[in-house]
């Protein structure tokens, strides 16, 4: 594990990362999802794709990376971009799981790999809407200390900065961003995913002009079981892009 200090908007972010196959000439940036870290992605993919230099990054506020301000997805992408400049990494292939998929999209790589990516707004169930309305009422009454009764499990242990970031990124609709992406996109999804449903995958596949969708058995973390197959498809796609 290594750390790089990145300056962004007068704040310092210590970004934790790990590089596998450091001598390889083609860069593969791998970004984890919300509430996760680089180790989960490394555990899944580091045994494969040895023709690529794998760069596993803890996004700001996750794993061993620090965060000292509330961020949007665009902010996170810019911090990752500054980090990439520091380590002389290219945007050859960027893979993102869930929240990491939105960050990968903003970075506009040559080949975009979306693994159960977030970015399509899904209408909240009535129960959740009622919970939000009730919390807002409690806040008006000065009862914010009951916040833990209302926040999602994903947000319960978060610092104030990260909770604000969570709120910033949760409801972003990236339909425009998906439709503007001009590179090649590979979409990989789990049939039983309830966090980013298969309907989102189909929508993204429609929005990105040059994209393909592969569906596997499993939930939001299906890729842990199918990393070998996903890796093979990424390698094949990269060779095709070279005209091989």
Q: Rounded to an integer, what distance in angstroms lies between the CA atom of residue 242 and that of residue 26? A: 12
47, 53 Cβ separation under 8 angstroms: no
What does each C-alpha distance from 123 to 103, 128, 148, 200, 222 come to in angstroms?
22, 10, 23, 12, 23
User: Is the CB of residue 184 less than 8 Å from the CB of residue 111?
Assistant: yes
Residue 122: the pLDDT is 77
The reported pTM is 0.87
Query: Does 10 score more than 60 pLDDT?
Result: yes
CA distance 101 to 97: 5
pLDDT digits (tens, 9 = 90+) for 71-114: 999 999 999 999 999 999 999 999 999 999 999 999 999 999 99
The pLDDT tens digits of the residues spanning 172-211 come to: 899 999 999 999 999 999 999 999 999 999 999 999 999 9
- Does 143 score more than 70 pLDDT? no
20-35 as b/e: b if 16+ CB within 10 A? bbeeeebbbbbbbbbb
What is the percentage of the chain residues whose pLDDT exceeds 90? Answer: 79
Burial of 202 (C-beta count, 10 Å sphere; 0-12/13-18/19+): middle
Name the residue with tokens 């860069």: 27
Phi-psi region of 110 (alpha: psi -120 to 50; beta: other; left: phi over 0): alpha
């Amino acid at each position: 594990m290594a750390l790089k200090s990145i300056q962004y908007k007068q704040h310092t972010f210590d970004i934790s990362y790990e590089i596998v196959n450091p001598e390889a000439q083609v860069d593969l940036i791998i970004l984890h999802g919300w509430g996760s870290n680089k180790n989960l992605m490394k555990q899944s993919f580091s045994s494969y794709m040895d023709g690529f230099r794998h760069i596993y990054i803890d996004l700001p506020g996750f794993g061993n990376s620090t965060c000292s301000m509330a961020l949007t997805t665009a902010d996170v992408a810019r911090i990752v971009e500054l980090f990439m400049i520091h380590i002389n990494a290219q945007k050859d292939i960027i893979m993102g799981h869930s929240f990491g998929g939105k960050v990968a999209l903003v970075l506009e790589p040559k080949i975009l790999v979306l693994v159960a990516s977030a970015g399509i707004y899904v209408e909240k169930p009535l129960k959740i809407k009622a919970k939000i309305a009730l919390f807002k009422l409690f806040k008006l009454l000065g009862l914010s200390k009951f916040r833990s009764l209302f926040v999602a499990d994903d947000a319960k242990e978060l610092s104030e900065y990260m909770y604000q970031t969570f709120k910033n990124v949760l409801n972003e609709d990236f339909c425009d961003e998906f439709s503007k992406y001009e590179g090649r996109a590979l979409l990989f999804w789990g049939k039983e995913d309830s966090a980013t449903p298969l309907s989102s995958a189909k929508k993204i596949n429609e929005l990105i002009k040059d994209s393909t969708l592969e569906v596997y058995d499993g939930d939001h973390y299906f890729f842990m079981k199918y990393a070998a197959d996903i890796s093979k498809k990424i390698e094949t796609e990269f060779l095709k892009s070279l005209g091989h």
